[in-house]
Structure 1
Amino acid sequence: MKCLKVAFGMENDETLIDAHYGDSEFFAIYEVCENGSIKLLEKRDNKAKDMEEHDEGHGDPRKFRAIVGQLMDVDVLAAFRMGPNFLRIRDQSDKVAFFTRTRDLKLALQRVAENFDDLWEQVQEKKAEKPPIEE
């Protein structure tokens, strides 16, 4: 069965952060499968949250590498909002960025499930073209 590993940038247990993905308190890592099953795998601390940025406060390439490095095993980075590093995620990593358009985790999970086929195709394309970023 096809399944995706999705990391949501979280403010608390039920709400996605309304800030840059790299400023998330933690990442809620879920397995979302083509049959609609959804399972919480873990809550992973964001070790880069308090990292000092040198690129006018946001979009620091070092923070981008630190975030992607923490989420090497994840296919999709899901967020309500992302900052300047969104372009780096899209262009320089093997990760797919997904905008949930909601801060409600339950609704965000539903939206990932509803877009599973499209996300699956994007992940396969990324894996074929981009090697993972080293931490």
Structure 2
Amino acid sequence: MNGLSAGTAPGAPPIDGIFRALSDPTRRHVLERLTRSPASVSELAEPFDMALPSFVEHLRVLEGCGLVNSKKTGRVRTYQLVPEPLKLAEDWLSTQRTLWARRLDQLDDYLIELKEKNT
């Protein structure tokens, strides 16, 4: 099994798959492209210098975590963005930002208190 098709651990939260998908620049580029309109596999693969089977693995990762879905009409498979799962990542990052801002504020207060004590 290559690095692209390796899945997240069984029972892992959906957010793990989303962050795994977002960790790759090719997949992020595909998502950015799909913000404009749905596109066929060949349209999505065109800017990349890689074999089509390798590119399709990227699409499988994106579809596996729910960030895109596809439909096949005749011989053409078209992908479209499903933005809702990005909310999970956004919410997680927002929670982390709030947590760290609070911790840094506490550290700042402590350092000011320590400086005033030593003056």
TM-score (norm 1): 0.26
Larger Rg: 2
Q: Which structure is higher in strand share? A: 1
* TM-score of the aligned structures, taking structure 2 as reference length: 0.28
Decide which structure has greater helix share. 2
